[in-house]
Structure 1
Amino acid sequence: MKPRLFEKIPLGLALAFFSGLPAYAQASDEGAGLYGPPVVTDWTAPVYPPGLKAENIEGRVQVSLVVDEHGVPGNVRTTKSTDPRFEAAAIASVEQWKFKPAVADDKPVAMGVGITLLFKLPEPKKPGLLPPPASMPRPLKKTPCKVLSQVEAEFPLALAGRGVVSGRVQVELLVGIDGSVSDVRILEATQAEFVMPALEAFRRWKFEPARQGDLAVTDKVATSVSFSAMDGLSEATRNRLSDIRVNLAEGQRLEQVCERAPECTVGISPVFPHDAAVAGRGGEATVEFTLGSLGTLFDVRVTNASEPAFGRALEAAIRASKFLPAKKSGVGVTAPMIWTHKFRQPAATPPADPDAESSETRVIRIVNAGGKIEGARGLDRKLRPIWRQLPVVSEGLRESGEKHTAEIEFVIAPDGRACLPRIVNASNEEFGWAAATAVSCWVFDPPTRGGEPASVRVRIPLRL
């Protein structure tokens, strides 16, 4: 038996994976700390233009400026005035003001602010220690960033070979002050395989940065990318090419069941059972189920499996998937469904294009060749998840109120995909497979060791 090296992740970190917090931050935009605009510590009242004073003309000037993280004002300019002859005096006044910088999340930050200066007669004999309330600085409204250029995401070749023909990834982009995408938070993905192509594409998008007055500021943008390899195909052809399809009786046509076939909105790939994978065995399984008129799954059952583990893996995958129902005359209808999946061992010779096979297939090839996969010690940086799926179980197990646990060992491939999960122990068999299936969808920042891409073996506990 080959030695198994792994790194066990503490339960605290495991629970953090399910916190629902962004991968790049553990707080809201403004954090849990203090937040506020710059505070005036000293000011110089504007000098009333003599000519306007002699004519008994009053006025108002709106000034825009940037107060940097040290409290120094800059980019002082007027944006609106009742009489342009007041503007020079307003600018000269504000340029002499002193500030404590704005604060965000307990840290001093630069901020674009606006100040309204009032020219009223008669002038006060002696200016106050601070400006009047109407002249206190206020944060300027932020102008959102704008897309300048986009990069299309490529459809994963490995998925095209498995019958997956469409998908979608929803994200939140963090756009920096230079207009580049500094981070991407995955909000939803129909299949884990789409996550990395989407990330690679989004990180190359360019924006005109958001602004607060003259200050370029970071911004967040919610957007999505769609993948499709079925544009222009008929409903019947789509159904025939899909791995998960309407289970038509012999001689029955799709239009007899529905006018529009069900759509798999979240397609989860089945886990390759660990013991079979490392022993070099492939397999096959078929799951049949009923898809209700609201997209709910009923009567999920394994109807064929070359080994029980293949059936359990496929059943867990279908429970974790999501669907839009079949439709007839624009109304959702119930449809019998079937999914037959073949669990294939890696080909003897790797394909010329490495992207033509999945990360899991490459990991299985390494393991079967006796390759050593080490734990997380010695990595260049801590493992950081960027997408994770929750375990999905049957309604009966979910409503039983029982508490279940499972410990899953898995490999994080050099591209960040979680692969080849092994159920180390589980208090319930169904939850064990659900946990392994969920983990197989996780995506991490690609791990490196000594600057080189690395595979990493880890363990993690999960709870129901």
Structure 2
Amino acid sequence: MPDAATLASLGGAALGSLWLPVAAWTVLALIIEGALRLTRAEAAVGLPVRGAALAALPVALAVPAALGAWAPNVPVALAAFAPPAVTWLPEVVVGGGAAAPALVAPPAGLIALGVLTALALAASVVALVRVAGGALRLARVRRALPPAPPAVAAALDAARQRAGVGRPVAAVEAPPGAAPFTVGWRRPVVAVPADLGGAALDVALAHELAHVRRADFAWHAAQRAVAAAFVWHPLAQALGRGLDLDRERAADAAVLAACPGRRRTYADLLLRYASLPAPPLALGAGRGDSSLKTRIDAMTCTLSPDRARRLARRGRLAGLLTLVLAGGLAAMTAPHPAPPDPAGDRALAPPDTTDEVYEVADVQPQLIGGLEGLQERLDYPELQHQAGVEGTAVLQFIVSKEGAVTDLQLLRSTGNDGLDQAAAEAVREARFEPGMQDGQPVRVRFAVPVTFQLEGGAATPPVPEAGADGVYNVAEVQPELVGGLEALQERVVYPEDARAEGVEGQVVVQFVVTEAGGVADPAVLRSPDDRLSAAALDAVRGLRFEPGRQGGEAVPVRFAVPITFRLPAGEDQGMAPGEVRYWGVDVSRLSGGAEIERRIRSLPSTLAQENAAGGTAEVRYTIGADGVPYDIDVVSGGGPLLDAALAIVRAPAFHTAEGARPGLGGTWTGTFGLNYQRPG
């Protein structure tokens, strides 16, 4: 079962990307469905308009995703619905014994939205699996049906020519007890009951050929897929039922136009097959008896061909307008770029708007005087103390380049202004040694919980405790990186394709330092590019630490490090025609690095001789404890360039030298890739 934070994260992400567009679509679809029912619209209008309304639902979801791709800053706005990622100081307790660390609980609304999103996604998966199963069963039924008698096949061919259907249509015999139905789009098949003949056969074939002419089977399959994907939305199901009826009404009108003197015969046919089944996803003539009265009523007032064509044109125009309106509403509801401004936050210190704010810096700010100094500045207000008022205030702030507290905000109140003000005054006076990034002071975001409680007398510094997952955010003795930052820097390999494109920036990686000093559960908190993320994760996975300790015992501690990818000033990022570059592994660290580099230098002439296309090829591999690559998989690319990458990885020269392998013992998984700029 996902925890509350995971559900809140899911709910926050789904709010802008799923629920707001769905809400906008719901308003539009309700108006459209209501108008169609009030006006009792003909099938020529209802079919395109309802179809466009249902298609507008995935369109409404695609618009925010497209905006996110075209405007990368748009997703930043989603941060307004979730607590910011900040570094937390241990809890400060005033007026009593140590309390359990207070964490900012995710908003209950986002947790509920996350639960709703998870249930909706699960329902969608189940419904889509059922549709896929129905498609498989239909394919088996289609293959098993015997050909229809020659007389039926001849009648179908004659009806096909009269209906103006250019594609060949096969006639098969329907299963016993089934209504006539149509299967297939590119190679349609009409299934006819063995006992059907005479005038009834003619009108049944006219009905099925009307479906074939309009490619109804393909539209019907797409409708079923959309309705399954949104099975949790009642309006999507209502539109689907309306489309089913409109599709059959349109076929009814086509039958009466083709066979004007056989209205009674056709009505008898519908009554005969109304309650008989058809295979899943097939288009059956009966389609159930619930809509039979509506269809027969519609046959009493048929439209002239000219009026039917005019209505069809208007319906298509209205359907196009529906799609445009859905896209516009989705764009209006999509999140717009804006700095997070959490509801309920109260600014308690003047903002500092200069320069970037870091969540984690190379050198984190240090609280001058430690937590004890902050504790000494905290006073339990006498009035609240005598009244027995308790509570926890959570304060977020930015440590400036000078070490001062700026942008102080109250993320969670104690519920008492006096306690909130006392906490804010103590934190505002705190001073830090500023954080450093690349040797320069930078602004870093922090947060601290301050608890006022009555029991126990004098306040004592809190004892760090593990979270629900058994991992400490802060330990009495923090983990230390073996070899310092230089050890991390030596492991970082700048991806060659990112270097060639001039991609640079900082990647912040969070992980857990285990009791043995290893790295577990690494994850990227912030990154400008997926390739830099992969390189940072590769570098972090092999780090070794002196483990963190609590009460003298080694404990798992959550840790984060920033890794900066920066290109030298003036470095040429372009690739010359005919040039080959590699990425993913530092060849100079391999035992056969010279041989690998010689191979890479010889590749341009080889690739030119083979007239290879330009592009990239990437291979993923695992190096065993003996230094030999195995489990080699193709990630991307093809042709001679991929062949060259595979040959290099499989070569004995690719074996790593002792002590130079990216991982420390055991196995190591990495990637190797080639870039090639084709001449001319």
Q: Same fold (TM over 0.5)?
A: no
TM-score by length of 2: 0.19
Larger radius of gyration: 2
Structure with greater strand share of residues:
1
Structure with greater helix share of residues:
2
